[in-house]
A and B are shown apart, each in its own frame.
Chain A
Amino acid sequence: MQEMVGTTGLILNEPLLTERGRKGRCGISLPRRDVEYFPLDASIAGEGPNFPDLSEVEVVRHYTRLSTWNFGVDTGLYPLGSCTMKYNPKTNERQAALPGFAGAHPLLPASLSQGVLKMMYDLQGFLAELTCMDAVTLQPAAGAHGELAGMLIFHAYHQSKGAPRSKIIVPDTAHGTNPASAALCGYRPVNVQSNEQGVLSPETIAAVMDEETAGIMITNPNTLGLFEENIQQIAEIVHARGGLVYADGANMNAIMGIVGVGDIGVDVLHLNLHKTFSTPHGGGGPGSGPVCVKTYLEPFLPVPRVSEKDGRYFLSEDFPQSVGKLHGFYGHVGVMIRAYCYILSLGPELKKVSQLAVLNANYIKEKLKDTLHLPYDRPCMHECVFSDKNQEAEKVTTLDMVKRLIDYGFHPPTIYFPLVVHGAIMIEPTETESKEDLDVFIESFKNVVKDAKENPEMLHDAPRKPKLRRLDETSAARHPCLTC
């Protein structure tokens, strides 16, 4: 067997910056003042915050040491996948840092922002083409904000027909934010269950879809990593009773260039540029959740909209049926630049991204299905879902196994989600992992299962190798220590 990735070695302790330094120490030399002295207004003058005085090397070592305690996608396989953060090519960071983009200010007039506006306008077109939708807003700040925008568009559409509706159908395999977004918009979410194959049955939707229901929110591929294969029939049922179909595109990484979302009955779709289109975001942002719609919903898109006339680009508010403004300025432009660059640098190869993502997930599923319990044994999309059912006899849980996986040098996958699988272990390797790395991951997981059988106690204590062992997640949740 190959040498395992995980090992132990010397790691350096590091205190908080406030516990470091000495009064008078300095890490930066300011240039000589070259403007006239001007006293501060007394009302804003006073003692500054109590920052520590630090030298340059103290600061550099502080952050370098902290970084060695961390595990990230640049360190190794990170099976949380695009849901949290896939590997993002470095060129996209570089382009986003170009001075013309990085120095752009949202208060500059359109005449001085033509480059940024053209980038945004073109990106709208790329996303429309990639999804077979007709019009796009880049404004929403992230996925759930896109969902809210979609629900506001649903409402504006039904309102324009003179008959607002009160309910939204949300399946149990949709993203958890879907019912919340619907409820925030004043709709009552109606939960429906997926069938024994892990997808929605048209009959289930036919039974609940009525004239009071504004439409359905469907995550495709769903949170089990399965393609909702009945989506066209479901869309027909919903449309026949006057409803609209919303697709949560958070799992777009599986279907880029393969499924024309607009061609299978979807009316509104949001994308997560930070998941699928190359922005580092694990840890909280910033994100970007563009919303794509069909022509008949275009009048309701948020304003301002990026428009073009005679080769000049500008922001336009002139859309009277719009749901209004959703963001302080115009969304998170830095994320858009990365997506624009990602799409341009891959072009038709975007399809291959999805093919490899799906192939890698199926490879792991096939190789591990005799080791771990696989609740839905059928071809998956970009992620596969196992459970801890085979380990029940040893009283080893999902949490124990993924903690032990850390000792082997891998970040834990998503656990206890989706909720429809008891003790779920959701693995999303993404497109960038090589067969060699996948094989080491698979071998490591098999070893974890072997450890569980031979020495369950060791798993209850896992992990053993990192700087910090099993963290007390219960105390952290019950008594959070919030500092700033």
Chain B
Amino acid sequence: MKEINEMNLPENVLYSTDHEWSRVKDGKVRIGISDYAQDQLGEIVFIEVPEIGATFKKGDVFGTLESIKAVAEMLIPITCEVLAVNTDLEGSPELVNQDPYDKGWIIDVKPDDSSELNQLMNKDAYLEMLKGMGK
């Protein structure tokens, strides 16, 4: 397992308290899980993703991640509709471990209200939160 200061935390995404990241591009928001989340879960063996067109309210469970240790729920950071899901994860769930911010993305969504993104954390705030956990 990684130390907090070894975490890969890019600047170009926004983080939620439940360790999902969101990245805005061309009006869409791409969502995945942070390096911290994948590291805590360990080797991921199965990912359950929603169907295209599904709608979620902020905080809803939008999918599950199964690792050799446990099954974890993913919580949606913003109220939205699902536009696309990463179909590569079905055959290669390890992408989430290997490349959580790029090839391991989970879903693309259309936000109901883009201003909800303002409530998410930038890298520094998220890092502070991680440092405060478990201490």
Q: Which residues of A contact B (CB under 8 A)?
A: 389, 392, 395, 397, 399, 415-417, 419, 422, 473-474, 477-478
Contact = CB atoms under 8 A, between A and B. Distances in A.
Given A395-B1, A474-B43, 10 more contacts: A389-B134, A397-B1, A415-B69, A417-B70, A473-B68, A474-B68, A477-B68, A478-B45, A478-B46, A478-B94
A79 to B, nearest CB: 18
A415 B67 CA distance: 13
Interface residues of B, number: 11
Interface in B1-29: 1
B100 interface: no
A395 B1 CA distance: 6
11 contacts: A395-B1, A415-B69, A416-B70, A417-B70, A419-B70, A473-B43, A474-B43, A474-B45, A477-B46, A478-B45, A478-B94
Given A395-B1, A474-B43, A477-B45, A416 B94 contact: no
A422 B134 contact: yes
Contacts of A397: 1
B70 A478 contact: no
A435 B88 CA distance: 54
A440 B53 CA distance: 58
B31 to A, nearest CB: 22
B94 to A, nearest CB: 7
Nearest to B133: A422
Given A416-B69, A416-B70, A478 B93 contact: yes
A474 B94 CA distance: 10
A392 B1 CA distance: 8
Nearest to A397: B1
A120 B61 CA distance: 44
A389 B133 CA distance: 13
Contacts of A419: 70
Interface in B46-99: 46, 66, 68-70, 93-94
Interface string B112-135: 000000000000000000000010
Contacts of B66: 477
Contacts, number: 26
A468 B69 CA distance: 21
Nearest to A392: B1
Contacts of A416: 69-70
Nearest to B66: A477
B26 to A, nearest CB: 33
A170 to B, nearest CB: 14
A415 B68 CA distance: 11
Which 9 A-B residue pairings sit nearest by Cβ, starting from the closest? Answer: A477-B45, A474-B43, A416-B69, A473-B68, A478-B45, A416-B70, A477-B68, A474-B68, A419-B70
A415 B69 CA distance: 8
A450 B35 CA distance: 30
Contacts of A474: 43, 45, 68, 94
Contacts of A473: 43, 68
Contacts of B43: 473-474, 477
Contacts of B70: 416-417, 419
A399 B70 CA distance: 13
A210 to B, nearest CB: 20
A474 to B, nearest CB: 4
A7 B60 CA distance: 51
A474 B1 CA distance: 16
A474 B69 CA distance: 10
Contacts of B69: 399, 415-416
